[in-house]
């Protein structure tokens, strides 16, 4: 790549020298000194600045388009040659550089045309300058149509058609005028709408583009109204000034950005040294990058998501949203991400440098954001726990009311009936007493079941292993207990683990359509890892339904986490990580 | 419906206590099922009047969990069954 660019640089230099020689020896070139000086200034300027930008940003087409404009300019210079073939090539393709310059202006600064209408306009420019005008040239008599008595003969000339040349020339001028007006309007709109970083970097380039388009409009209007050749010549020369300035303005904006960036990093480091208050960091980075819209978001490795400074979840913007993202890493670990105006995308290295300078401060602020996120999470999980608690109490009241209480009422009444019948109808009384005995058993069983829902006695009496064995034996689906802790754990941990397995096995029985389930409990880095997997239909969503959500909330209270892996058709695996206290 | 599936024949229904008394007089059923609370008079009152009129139709009363209060005399009542537990077997156990 680099070698190819050097070859292009050499070719540009040689092309310039050839143009110089041709112009100096030309017998008909007007304003020889001015043409020569401006010609070289413009050609070499575009080729040089273009190659520099191309080398620095190979993925940005602006550099390539600038280089192409330089070569197209040298190509136009051939029209001043006395050698007929070179003269014809130069004259036929003499306006190609307009098309490349317009392409470059519309594609800047990101190197891509933004809209379909821009693509059409640029395409039209190429059709006019690289196809219509060269084809028309086979009908052009330089002496008659270009009013150039000393020009060499047109070696492509095949037929004379003065009317055709006139009509097509007027049409080309008219379409060219519309095209230039479109570019002018686009550039003015860009100047008006530019974000702060864009304006800072590219306003001079846009301004030069606007000036060039205005002078081009003047040229085209003068040509079509056929005022004086003198006025035409003056305006044409004036138009060269913004064109000549353009590559240098591009270069200046590039260098200015680099200088600004270098200074900004130094200033940022100095500001960070003053121990910024929380929240100041964003302002410092926004200033360092010249982008007031800059956002700082922090990576929470436990939650595997980004949050903003107040701890609210943040989704990174997608491509084409006008925002760019640079992640900041420290010791190979993602700490934060800087979200900024996509106009600064070319300054990605700079953003990275700014991020690196601020990495330590970012790490500190991340802790702050993490804390806020946790507080927010706890607040909402506390709310949910509260409503779950109320709902559980309501369910308990309902179960007691519809079950044991109803049985006990009927039993109490039956005992009264039995007492009344004891003398006269002893058989009936005996039947009632027997019935009451069954009812009492049933009521006791129901109460026992309810109590187990509140707190399983077997867990506190005999520990997690036995409690889980009981759960497994009662489950309607075969359950394999692959590994159990084998020792007593803090009560809160055992209870949480028990509920994870209990809820997971309930879900397996209700929804999974599984043939068996596996419970696996191990330790990892000070946490109890409880995993329940099945070979069922999958597709469980913790956001839907209250079971898994409630479980996650129950775990959040003791700093535990719940992960649900349940791809449709591939079974479900529920993993809880519970700090062992 | 449930009882019909279990071989019982429902010969009539009534919407309150007085209608029940009239229906029992006309239809002479083998068994009367009553709620504790009826729109006009209580189920236990209906059972007591049935027992006074003719002791032939034993009454079984279905209970809910709030029915323990305000229950007076239980003459004529064969037994109580929780509403949620009503079944042929539960009835037969009382007859």
Residue A32: Cβ within 10 Å count:
13
Q: Nearest-CA neighbor of A581 among A510, A489, A519, A466?
A: A489
**How sure is the predictor about A157, in pLDDT bands with cuts at 50, 70 and 90?**
confident
Average pLDDT over residues A193-200: 76
- List of chain B residues whose C-beta atoms are within 8 Å of the C-beta of residue A420: 74-75
The most confident of the ranges A173-177, A428-432, A518-522 is A518-522
Tell me the average pLDDT of chain A: 83
* Distance between CA atoms of residues A314 and A318, nearest Å: 12
Answer whether residue B19 shows pLDDT above 90.
yes
Answer whether residue B54 shows pLDDT above 70.
no
What is residue A468's predicted lDDT score, i.e. its pLDDT? 92
A521 neighbors A484 (Cβ within 8 angstroms): yes
Inter-chain Cβ pairs, chain A and chain B, closer than 8 A: 57
* Distance between CA atoms of residues A161 and A141, nearest Å: 9
Q: Nearest-CA neighbor of A203 among A213, A212, A193?
A: A193
* Distance between CA atoms of residues A11 and A75, nearest Å: 12
**How sure is the predictor about A380, in pLDDT bands with cuts at 50, 70 and 90?**
confident
Is the residue at B20 inside a domain? no
A31 neighbors A37 (Cβ within 8 angstroms): no
What is residue A329's predicted lDDT score, i.e. its pLDDT? 81
**How sure is the predictor about A332, in pLDDT bands with cuts at 50, 70 and 90?**
confident
- Percent of residues, chain A, with pLDDT higher than 90: 14
- List of chain A residues whose C-beta atoms are within 8 Å of the C-beta of residue B90: 435
Higher pLDDT, A283 or A349: A283
A307 neighbors A298 (Cβ within 8 angstroms): yes
Is the residue at B80 inside a domain? yes
Is the residue at B24 inside a domain? no
Q: Does A430 touch chain B (CB under 8 A)?
A: no
**How sure is the predictor about A345, in pLDDT bands with cuts at 50, 70 and 90?**
low
The most confident of the ranges A40-49, A141-150, A166-175, A544-553 is A40-49
Length of chain B: 95
What is residue A47's predicted lDDT score, i.e. its pLDDT? 92
Answer whether residue A532 shows pLDDT above 90.
yes
Q: Per the CB < 8 Å rule, is B74 touching A410?
A: no
What is residue A526's predicted lDDT score, i.e. its pLDDT? 86
What is residue A529's predicted lDDT score, i.e. its pLDDT? 95
What is residue A122's predicted lDDT score, i.e. its pLDDT? 92
ipTM summary value = 0.84
CATH number at residue B38: 3.40.50.2300
The most confident of the ranges A145-159, A245-259, A348-362, A469-483 is A469-483
What is residue A111's predicted lDDT score, i.e. its pLDDT? 79
A432 neighbors A416 (Cβ within 8 angstroms): no
Tell me the average pLDDT of chain B: 81
Q: Per the CB < 8 Å rule, is B63 touching A413?
A: yes
What is residue A269's predicted lDDT score, i.e. its pLDDT? 67
Q: Per the CB < 8 Å rule, is A409 touching B84?
A: no
* Distance between CA atoms of residues A533 and A525, nearest Å: 21
What is residue A123's predicted lDDT score, i.e. its pLDDT? 94
Cα angle, residue B12 at apex, residues B9 and B16 outer, rounded to 5°: 140
Average pLDDT over residues A268-277: 64
Q: Does B68 touch chain A (CB under 8 A)?
A: yes
Residues 6+ apart with CB under 8 A from A166: none
In this structure, the dihedral spanned by the alpha carbons of residues A486, A492, A495 and A498, taken in order and rounded to 10 degrees, is -60
Nearest to B67 among A409, A435, A439 (CB): A409
**How sure is the predictor about A519, in pLDDT bands with cuts at 50, 70 and 90?**
very high
Nearest to A435 among B68, B77, B94 (CB): B94
The most confident of the ranges A83-87, A223-227, A460-464, A575-579 is A575-579
Answer whether residue A318 shows pLDDT above 80.
yes
What is residue A232's predicted lDDT score, i.e. its pLDDT? 65
CA distances (Å), origin A189, targets A106, A114, A192, B64: 12, 13, 5, 78
CA distances (Å), origin A2, targets A5, A7, A53, A247, A305: 5, 9, 12, 20, 40
Higher pLDDT, B69 or A458: A458
What is residue A265's predicted lDDT score, i.e. its pLDDT? 65
Phi-psi domain of A226 (left: phi exceeds 0; alpha: psi -120 through 50; beta: other): left
Answer whether residue A528 shows pLDDT above 90.
yes
| pLDDT digit string, tens, across residues A400-450 | 877 788 888 888 888 988 998 888 889 888 888 988 898 888 888 888 878
Q: Does B55 touch chain A (CB under 8 A)?
A: no
Q: How many domains does chain B have?
A: 1
Is the residue at B12 inside a domain? no
What is residue A273's predicted lDDT score, i.e. its pLDDT? 61
Q: Per the CB < 8 Å rule, is A407 touching B83?
A: no
* Distance between CA atoms of residues A351 and A368, nearest Å: 23
- List of chain A residues whose C-beta atoms are within 8 Å of the C-beta of residue B58: none
Q: What is the pTM of this model?
A: 0.50
Is the residue at B42 inside a domain? yes
Q: Per the CB < 8 Å rule, is A406 touching B82?
A: yes
Q: Does B85 touch chain A (CB under 8 A)?
A: yes
- Is the omega angle on the peptide bond into residue A24 within 30 degrees of 0, that is, cis? no
Expressed as residue numbers, the domain containing B84 is 2-6+30-94
Phi-psi domain of A559 (left: phi exceeds 0; alpha: psi -120 through 50; beta: other): left
The most confident of the ranges A127-141, A464-478, B64-78 is A464-478
């Amino acid at each position: 790549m680099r070698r190819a660019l050097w070859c292009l640089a050499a070719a540009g230099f040689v092309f310039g020298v050839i143009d110089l020689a041709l112009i100096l020896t030309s017998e008909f070139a007007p304003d020889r000194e001015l043409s020569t000086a401006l010609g070289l200034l413009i050609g070499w300027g575009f080729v040089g600045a273009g190659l520099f930008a191309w080398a620095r940003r190979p993925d940005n087409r602006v550099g390539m388009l600038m280089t192409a404009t330089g070569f197209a300019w040298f190509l136009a210079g051939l029209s001043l040659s006395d050698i007929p073939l070179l003269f014809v090539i130069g004259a036929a393709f003499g306006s190609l550089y307009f098309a490349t310059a317009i392409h470059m202006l519309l594609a800047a600064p990101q190197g891509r045309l933004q809209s379909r209408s821009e693509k059409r306009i640029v395409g039209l420019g190429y059709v006019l300058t690289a196809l219509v005008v060269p084809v028309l040239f086979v009908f052009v008599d330089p002496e008659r149509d270009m009013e150039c008595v000393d020009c060499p003969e047109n070696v492509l000339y095949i037929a004379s058609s003065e009317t055709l040349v006139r009509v097509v020339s007027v049409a080309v001028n008219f379409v060219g005028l519309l095209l230039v007006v479109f570019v002018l309007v686009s550039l003015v709109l860009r100047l008006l709408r530019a974000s702060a970083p864009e304006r800072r970097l590219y306003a001079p380039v846009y301004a030069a583009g606007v000036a060039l388009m205005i002078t081009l409009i003047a040229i085209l209007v003068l040509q079509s109204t056929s005022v004086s050749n003198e006025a035409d010549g003056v305006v044409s020369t004036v138009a060269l000034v913004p064109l000549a300035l353009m590559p240098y303005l591009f270069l200046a904006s590039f260098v200015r950005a680099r200088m600004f960036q270098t200074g900004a990093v130094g200033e940022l480091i100095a500001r960070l040294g003053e121990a910024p208050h929380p929240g100041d960091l964003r302002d410092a980075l926004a200033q360092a990058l010249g982008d007031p819209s800059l956002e700082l978001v922090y990576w929470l490795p436990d939650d595997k998501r980004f949050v903003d400074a107040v701890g609210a979840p943040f989704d990174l913007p997608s491509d084409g949203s006008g925002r760019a993202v640079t992640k900041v890493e420290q010791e190979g670990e993602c700490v934060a991400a800087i979200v900024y105006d996509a106009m600064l995308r070319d300054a990605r290295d700079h953003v990275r440098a700014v991020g690196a300078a601020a990495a330590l401060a970012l790490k500190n602020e991340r802790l702050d954001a993490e804390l806020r996120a946790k507080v927010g999470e706890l607040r909402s999980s506390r709310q949910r726990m509260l409503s779950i608690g109320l709902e559980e109490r309501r369910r308990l009241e309902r179960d007691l009311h519809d079950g044991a209480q109803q049985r006990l009422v009927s039993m109490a009444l039956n005992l009264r009936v039995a007492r009344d019948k004891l003398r006269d109808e002893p058989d009936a009384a005996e039947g009632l007493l027997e019935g009451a005995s069954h009812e009492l058993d049933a009521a006791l069983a129901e109460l026992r079941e309810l109590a187990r829902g509140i707190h399983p006695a077997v867990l506190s009496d005999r520990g997690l292993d036995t409690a889980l064995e009981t759960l497994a034996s009662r489950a309607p689906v075969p359950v394999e207990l692959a590994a159990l802790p084998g020792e007593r754990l803090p009560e809160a941990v055992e209870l949480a683990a028990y509920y994870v397995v209990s809820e997971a096995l309930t879900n397996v029985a209700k929804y999974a359509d599984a043939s068996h389930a596996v419970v696996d409990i191990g330790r990892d880095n000070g946490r109890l890892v409880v995993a329940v997997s099945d070979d069922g239909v999958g597709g469980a969503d913790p956001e839907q339904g209250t079971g898994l959500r409630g479980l996650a909330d129950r775990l959040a209270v003791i700093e535990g986490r719940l992960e649900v892996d349940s791809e449709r058709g591939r079974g479900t695996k529920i993993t809880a990580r519970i700090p062992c206290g | 419906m449930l009882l019909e599936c279990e071989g019982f024949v429902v010969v009539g229904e009534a919407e309150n206590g007085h209608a029940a008394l009239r229906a029992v007089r006309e239809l002479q059923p083998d068994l009367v099922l009553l709620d504790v609370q009826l729109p006009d008079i209580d189920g236990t009152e209906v059972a007591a009047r049935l027992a006074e009129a003719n002791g032939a139709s034993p009454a079984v009363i279905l209970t809910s969990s709030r029915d323990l209060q305000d229950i007076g005399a239980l003459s004529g009542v064969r037994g109580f069954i929780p509403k949620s537990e009503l079944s042929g077997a539960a009835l037969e156990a009382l007859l």
